[in-house]
């Protein structure tokens, strides 16, 4: 059974229902679940977890991979990247989330939004929201990371915002070499250009990646693009 919207959207809908109707949140969640064809929210959540694209995508990643996750705002690219981090941790690997976009509490709130309690992964998950984030910074922070660690960078286009940082192409190449040398998986969250038209194609692709500065997108081993309920995953040929 397919959900009418991603589970985090359904949770927001339940919160609005709870507030508008003056009912407990758990009751509102169960109402939403009933509307989706489930007897209770717990059943819906279990089904949603089983259907998450990250469940089938993460096993296709290999140590050393550079992965691009792209979508327009509000389409779930940050949550998808966090779901990949959760899958890595469930597999016994560490994960790190470097963000130039969010504060740590925002990242943890989004982790909870996908049903993962931060305390559950306290010793395996690292959040870094330093203003100094760049390729060199990430490499320094992750130098001692074990093979298989998944690193999320939020987001690609912000890496070269600071004048003192190298060009974006130089930074991505440095992270590519580092990932291969250390056996890490590096996931870049990416913006999509406003010109992308979902009526023309269901998901954006490499042609729609917003690039304020030149970058060879062939540096990425795998790509994952999202729009609405569509997910398109490709591996480099």
pLDDT confidence of residue 1: 61
Q: What is the Cβ-side half-sphere exposure of residue 72, based on CA atoms within 13 angstroms?
A: 14
The answer to whether the CB of 67 falls within 8 A of the CB of 220 is yes
pLDDT at 160 (0 to 100): 87
Q: What is the pLDDT of residue 216?
A: 95
Residue 237 has a pLDDT of 61
Top-tier CATH class for 53-235:
alpha beta
Q: Where are the domains of the chain?
A: 7-51, 53-235
Alpha-carbon gap, residue 126 to 97, rounded angstroms: 6
Q: Please, are residues 87 and 55 in contact by the beta-carbon 8 Å criterion?
A: yes
Enter the pTM of the model: 0.84
pLDDT at res. 11:
84
pLDDT for the residue 124: 96
Would you write out the chain's pLDDT as a tens digit for each of its 237 residues? Answer: 677 877 777 888 999 999 999 999 999 999 999 999 999 988 887 777 766 789 889 999 999 999 999 999 989 899 999 999 999 999 999 999 999 999 999 999 999 888 788 998 988 999 999 999 999 999 999 999 999 999 999 999 999 888 889 999 999 999 999 999 999 999 999 999 999 999 999 999 999 999 988 999 999 999 999 998 789 999 976
Question: What is the pLDDT, as a whole number, of residue 45?
Answer: 79
């Amino acid at each position: 059974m397919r959900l009418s919207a991603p589970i985090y959207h359904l949770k927001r809908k339940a919160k609005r229902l709870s507030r508008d109707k003056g009912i407990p949140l758990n009751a509102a969640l169960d109402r939403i679940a009933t509307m989706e064809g489930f007897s209770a929210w717990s059943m819906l959540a279990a089904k949603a977890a089983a259907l998450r694209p990250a469940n089938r995508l993460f096993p296709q990643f290999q140590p050393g991979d550079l992965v691009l996750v792209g979508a327009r705002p509000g389409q779930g690219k940050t949550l998808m990247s966090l779901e990949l981090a959760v899958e890595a941790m469930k597999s016994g690997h560490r994960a790190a989330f470097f963000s130039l976009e969010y504060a740590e509490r925002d990242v943890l709130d989004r982790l909870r939004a996908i049903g993962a309690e931060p305390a559950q992964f306290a010793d395996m998950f690292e959040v870094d929201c330093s203003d100094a984030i760049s390729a060199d910074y990430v490499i320094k922070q992750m130098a001692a990371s074990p093979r298989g660690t998944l690193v999320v960078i939020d987001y690609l286009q912000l890496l070269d915002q600071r004048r003192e940082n190298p060009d974006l192409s130089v930074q991505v190449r440095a992270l590519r070499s580092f990932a291969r040398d250390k056996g890490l998986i590096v996931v870049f969250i990416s913006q999509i250009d406003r010109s992308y038209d979902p009526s023309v194609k269901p998901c954006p692709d490499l042609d729609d990646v917003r690039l304020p500065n030149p970058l060879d997108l062939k540096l990425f081993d795998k790509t994952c693009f999202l729009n609405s309920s569509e997910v398109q995953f490709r591996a480099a040929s």
